[in-house]
Amino acid sequence: MEVTWFLTCRTGQKDRFGRLPEAPFGASIYQLTDNELSFYDLLLPQD
């Protein structure tokens, strides 16, 4: 069976109550995806 994942820039950042956990970005989906993020980047506002 083929599975397709759609992960967005906001996937795994906040809990169901809209709070940011005290953990690395994406930590809440590590168990689901069976891997960890080795790198992440944040877009900076334009000057």
**DSSP secondary structure, 15-40, as one string:** -TTSPPPSS-TTGGGHHHHTS--S--
Domain assignment present for 26: yes
Q: Are 9 and 24 in contact (CB under 8 A)?
A: no
Residue type at 37? L
pLDDT tens digits for 1-47?
787 766 666 666 777 888 877 877 777 777 877 877 777 777 777 76
Domain assignment present for 22: yes
Q: Are 22 and 28 in contact (CB under 8 A)?
A: no
The total number of structural domains in the chain stands at 1
pLDDT, position 7: 66
pLDDT, position 46: 78
- Residue 22 belongs to what domain range? 11-36
